Structure formats: structure tokens, C-alpha cells
Amino acid sequence: MAPRMDGNVLVWASQVDEATLEQARKAARLPFVAGHVALMPDAHLGIGAAIGSVIPTDGAIIPAAVGVDIGCGMVAAETVLTSSDLPEDLRPLLDRIEVAVPAGLGRAHDRGRVHDAGAGVDAWAAFLDRHGLPAGTSLDDRQRSTAAAQYGTLGSGNHFLEVCLDERDRVWVMLHSGSRGVGNQLAQRHIGRAKRAMREWFVSLEDPDLAYFVHGTPHFDAYIADVTWAQAYAAGNRRRMVEVTLALLHDAAGQPGTAPTLVVNCHHNYTARERHRGRDLWITRKGAILAREGDLGIIPGSMGARSYIVRGRGNPAAYHSCAHGAGRAMSRTSARKRFRAADLSQAMGGRTWLAAHAGRLVDEIPAAYKDIDTVMADQADLVEVVHTLTQVLNYKGVS
């Protein structure tokens, strides 16, 4: 569909509620927003900024627009395997993934088995060096230990790990995760600071969650340092989980481990300095991915629905962006009231998944999300489909 203007918001979503639109309008009315806000097809209500929004700013940045899971995103790895290489019963593989990739709220590796999880300066430096992470972050000793122990873990909510088949019968590993507890703590710290700064400067906002930092201030510099680190941590966290899962997958297939033929690793909650229309701007994508011409990206469907590997078309009106997934159509509370475990079991069909926990996962039922094919049709001018993935195994954290 062709996007439509709504005030200073350019909307790609054919299905979007008024509350989400108004949230995007409020962000677009901020004086430092440098152009229109782009609202993606999967847009829905968030905190401060709508999920599925792309916000260009000049001279200021909004921590809540990045969100509390800094660097959250997707990774997908294509293997040389096909469906015939997989064991008939994938349950043993799921059981091994559960052990190797902890999932759920606050879950971490056993600290006794994390060789570099110490809080000391030397141990922390060794951890950063081992995983290629930047050094500049303001974590205390306890947070450093937690960050090391949670590295290579999935998290909860809509975070997931899947084994999929594409349209050629090739096997993929795909997962969704972010910067875990440490990213949340950093985000909450800076969101609180920004709100306090607004009060100190007597700045009145339509929504307090749109509190911002001004370029050139110590708070701005501290936030950029932490958000840059957390984004690198999130990307590395996803990379580590894929490495572990690929080893388990090849072992289950009875084949020697081989390097993936393609790996795509992309953020969808982040901010970056980019040049658009001749200006250097901060582009904040909250539930959106980078889709420059030729860029590969990942757009997952909901639990039990198709996902897509896409190639960006570089649409300048969207600041070279596209949707990050299906997007919720109803809240978790509404989904739990409306659906039962049997509904989710029916939706999952013959896939291998944590069926015994259906009652605790029912808020992730596909019917609680927008139709992924409608989302894809809405953004035909933003991306083209390269591969279509269908999951045969799904793993989520159970809180």
C-alpha cells in the first residue's frame, strides 16, 4: 500500500488504532524531530513512542524511544542441512536447547560454569575482549557479573528461538533477543535521568515518557556510551546463542558442524547516527529495522506463523527502514482472557514446542498478533522477500 500522511506522521500500516497514531503524533510534534516520523505496518502502542516507529532527531535523543531492551533484535543463520537431515523426533533437540540456552525472566547460566563471570576489573576486561565488546559502560561490579552470566541467554516475553525450513527445504536457526537484564537496567537509569532533567528545566511534555537529553550535555554523552555498549552486547548475545544452537543442531543431525552459509544479525530497538537528506541525524528505530538498498533483514511472524528474510529497497521516506515483525494486535492481558491452552495447541499444529506449558504461553498465540502477510503487503515498497521460513521447532522462555 502507499503510505499516507497523518499530521507529521507517514503511516505504512493499513491496520492501526487511534491510540497508536496519537502516540506517534506526540513524538512527531517535538521541536527537535527533524522531519516526519515513519510508522511501520506492525505499529502498536508502546511506552513513550509507538512500537514500529522511526524517529529522526537533531540535537536531542529520547531514551524511552529506544526502549528498555536496548539492542533487541533478530539473528538468523542458514545451514547446509535440509529437512531430511533432521531427526524424526525433534523433542530431544529441544530438551538440549533448554539446557544450553537458558530462557525466562532473570534466567542466566550457572555462575559457577561461566569462566569469565567475575566482577573484578581483570575478569571484566577479559570478558569484553573474549566477546569483542567495547569497554565503555557504567556498570557496577554486580551488573558486570550478571551481564557475563546472562550472555548467551534468551530472555522472556516474545523472545524465542526456532529451527525453521525455507522454501528450498534448507534448515535455519532464528532467534529474537536483546541486552537482557543489564540493558533494561541501563535504559531505566537513563529514562529516569531524562525525566528528572525535564522537571529541572521546567520542560512540559505531552507525555512524560518523551523525556529527552540534549546534545552536548553530560547526560547525553553518558547515554550514548551506554546505549552503544548495550547494542553491541545484544548483537553478541544473539551471535553466541546461534553458535551454541548450531552445534546442537548438527549433532542431532549426526553431521559434523559446518559454518552457516549466511548469518543476518539486526537490531530493531536502537539508535544510530545516520545521514538523511543531507543532514546527520540520530535515527531511533523502536520496533523497526534498517533496510537500506541491499541490506538483509529479518521480519518474524508470530509463534506458529511464517517469517521472512528480506532485502531492503532503501526507501528514503522511511529513513531506510521497515517493520520488525507482526506486531501485537491485542495486549497480553486481553489474549489471556480470550484464549485457552487448547487454542494455542491447535495453532501450533505438528511443531515441536513447549506444549506442556501452553497455558503459560497463551499470550503469545498467533491470533494475538497482526497477520504477518498483511504486514508484508503493506511494506512492499520497503523490502522484497528473499526467503520464507516456517518453524518446525519453537522454544520460548516460560515465566
Average of pLDDT values for 379-396? 98
**pLDDT tens digit string along 71-107?**
999 999 999 999 999 999 999 999 999 999 999 888 8
What pTM was estimated for this model as a whole? 0.95
Neighbours of 317 (CB within 10 A): 14
Contact 23, 49 (CB under 8 A): yes
Local confidence band at 116 (pLDDT 50, 70, 90 cut-offs): very low
Local confidence band at 123 (pLDDT 50, 70, 90 cut-offs): confident
Q: What amino acid is encoded at 224 in this protein?
A: I
Domains and CATH numbers, the chain: 4-109+151-329+369-396 (3.90.1860.10)
Local confidence band at 113 (pLDDT 50, 70, 90 cut-offs): very low
Average of pLDDT values for 186-193? 97
**pLDDT tens digit string along 136-165?**
788 998 899 999 999 999 999 899 999 999
CA–CA distance, 397 with 295 (Å, rounded to integer)? 30
Q: Is 159 designated active site? A: no
CA–CA distance, 340 with 332 (Å, rounded to integer)? 13
The pLDDT assigned to 119 comes to 53
The three cell numbers of residue 158 are 516474545
The pLDDT assigned to 120 comes to 63
Q: With 80 as the cut, is the pLDDT of residue 299 above it?
A: yes
Q: Which helix (H) or strand (E) holds 213?
A: strand 213-214
CA–CA distance, 151 with 148 (Å, rounded to integer)? 5
Task: Say which of 190, 268, 324, 387 is annotated catalytic.
Answer: 324
SS3 content of the chain, % helix, strand, coil (to 5): 35, 25, 35
The pLDDT assigned to 114 comes to 44
3-state secondary structure at position 70: coil
The pLDDT assigned to 326 comes to 95
Local confidence band at 115 (pLDDT 50, 70, 90 cut-offs): very low
Local confidence band at 288 (pLDDT 50, 70, 90 cut-offs): very high
Average of pLDDT values for 226-250? 97
Q: With 70 as the cut, is the pLDDT of residue 220 above it?
A: yes
Average of pLDDT values for 13-18? 96
Q: With 80 as the cut, is the pLDDT of residue 118 above it?
A: no
Contact 304, 272 (CB under 8 A): no
Average of pLDDT values for 117-130? 76
**pLDDT tens digit string along 321-369?**
999 999 999 999 999 999 999 999 999 999 999 999 999 999 999 999 9
* Per-chain mean pLDDT for the chain: 94
**pLDDT tens digit string along 30-73?**
999 999 999 999 999 999 999 999 999 999 999 999 999 999 99
